[in-house]
């Protein structure tokens, strides 16, 4: 069983919709990362958080340490948001990332 | 441009061969991480170097090795290649450990035929 679980695996939304992607992890972590991978393959780091909430433009990431759960929200979604969103955890005392399997988001005009 | 440079972008080679992938970290970053992304396994951590020294090892095969040079660039060497080694190989860098976030390169797509 993967230590980092994401849901849903696939998500299709209409332009303008509010989107939520969820991530659960089973071990203690030092930080939770949200990554974006576009069809070309490149990976962009969106957020790194260890508590609370972070916001960047239309993207919001939250984490609940007690519940071992994080969410990525996209407000006013746009077709250019179409990508695979990957949740990754860096374990306490560990330098390596453990990745979820990703959520493929398609935003339709 | 993320600041992390990976070369080559694409590589096609035959089974049994050896290849070297190169990564130049973002200016000022001391840590370099290598990751493999395959269709069946997803993204997996391979190895980390910090300022020239190996810091952590993940799911890296014995046929694979890496090093970080004094100028902080890193190379990942893959030998005795098998069809299953076909994957995207990403390099990422950070200032120090994981507390500082990561910057990813654009990856090297390796195809073994």
A30:B104 CB<8 A = no
Instruction: Please determine, for residue B1, whether its predicted confidence score (pLDDT) is greater than 80.
Output: no
Q: Which residues of B touch A41 (CB under 8 A)?
A: 88, 106-107, 109
- Write the pLDDT tens digit of every residue in A53-79: 999 999 999 999 999 999 999 999 999
The confidence score (pLDDT) of residue B41 equals: 82
Range B15-33 average pLDDT: 95
Nearest CA in chain B to A95: B98
A43 has a chain B CB within 8 A of its CB = yes
Shortest Cα distance from B73 to chain A (angstroms)?
19
pLDDT reported for residue B83: 96
Å between B106 CA and nearest CA of chain A = 5
Among residues A39, A21, A48, the alpha carbon closest in space to that of A79 is found at A39
Concatenate the DSSP letters of all residues of B74-96 into one string.
EEEEE-S--GGG-EEEEEEEESS
Interface contact flag, A95 B97, Cβ < 8 Å:
yes
Q: Kindly state the average pLDDT of the residues A4-25.
A: 96
CA–chain centroid gap for A23, Å, is 7
Distance CA B111, CA B15 (A): 10
The average confidence (pLDDT) of chain A is 92
Lookup result for tokens 């441009």: B1
Among chain A residues, the shortest Cα distance to B31 is held by: A95
| CA distances from residue A6 to A3, A29, A82, B2, B59 in whole angstroms, order as listed | 10, 16, 17, 26, 21
pLDDT higher than 90, residue A94? no
Enumerate residues 6+ apart whose C-beta is below 8 A from A80. A107
A:B CB pairs within 8 Å: 57
**Chain A contacts of B55, Cβ < 8 Å?**
95
pLDDT tens digits, one per residue of B46-104: 999 999 999 999 989 999 999 999 999 999 999 999 999 999 999 999 886 655 678 99
| pLDDT band for position A32 (cuts 50, 70, 90) | very high
The pLDDT, as a whole number, for residue B97 is: 60
pLDDT at A91: 77
Mutate to test the interface with A, among B34, B54, B98, B103 (most CBs of A within 10 A): B98
Taking contacts as CB-CB distances below 8 angstroms, the residues of chain B near A99 are 42-44
Of the candidates B49, B51, B31, B54, the one whose C-alpha atom is nearest the C-alpha of residue B101 is B31
């Amino acid at each position: 069983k993967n230590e980092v679980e994401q849901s849903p695996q696939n998500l299709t939304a209409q332009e303008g919709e509010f989107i939520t992607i969820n991530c659960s992890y089973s071990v203690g972590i030092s930080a939770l990362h949200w990554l974006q991978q576009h069809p070309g393959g490149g990976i962009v780091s969106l957020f790194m958080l260890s508590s609370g909430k972070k916001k960047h433009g239309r993207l919001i990431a939250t984490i609940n340490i007690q519940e071992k759960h994080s969410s990525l929200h996209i407000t006013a979604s746009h077709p250019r948001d179409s990508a695979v969103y990957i949740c990754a955890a860096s374990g306490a005392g560990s330098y390596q990332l453990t990745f979820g399997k990703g959520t493929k988001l398609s935003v339709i005009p | 441009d993320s600041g992390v440079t990976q070369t080559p972008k694409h590589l096609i080679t035959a089974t049994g061969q050896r290849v070297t992938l190169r990564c130049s970290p973002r200016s000022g970053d001391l840590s370099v991480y290598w990751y493999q992304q395959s269709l069946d396994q997803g993204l997996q951590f391979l190895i980390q170097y910090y300022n020239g020294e190996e810091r952590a090892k993940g799911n890296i095969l014995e046929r694979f090795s890496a090093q970080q040079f004094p100028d902080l660039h890193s190379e990942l060497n893959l030998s005795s290649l098998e069809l299953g080694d076909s994957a995207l190989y990403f390099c990422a860098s950070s200032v120090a450990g994981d507390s500082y976030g990561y910057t990813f390169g654009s990856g090297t797509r390796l195809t073994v035929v």
